[in-house]
Amino acid sequence: MRRFARFYGANPLHLLAMMFCFALWLFVIGVAGPTTFINTKVWWQSIAFWFIGGAILHDLLLFPLYALADLSLRTGLRAMRHLPVRAAAAVPMVNYVRLPALGTGLTFLLFFPGLIKQGAFFYHNATGLTQDPFLCRWLLLVAAMFGTSALAYAVRSAWHARRHRGAPTLPKGAAPQTDIPKPGSK
Q: Return the axis-axis angle of helices 12-36 and 43-56, rounded to nearest 10°.
A: 140
Contact 90, 170 (CB under 8 A): no
Backbone angles phi, psi at 112, to 5 degrees: -55, -45
Please tell me which of 35-39, 109-113, 166-170 the model is most confident about, judged by mean pLDDT: 109-113
What percent of the chain shows pLDDT beyond 70?
78
Segments making up each domain of the chain, as ranges: 1-33, 58-89, 91-163
Region 120-129: mean pLDDT is: 89
Task: Say how far apart CA 16 and CA 159 lie, in whole Å.
Answer: 40
Tell me: pLDDT of 180 over 60. no
> Has this prediction a pTM greater than 0.75?
no
Between 94-115 and 133-163, two packed helices, what is the crossing angle to 10 degrees? 170
- Does pLDDT of 31 surpass 80? no
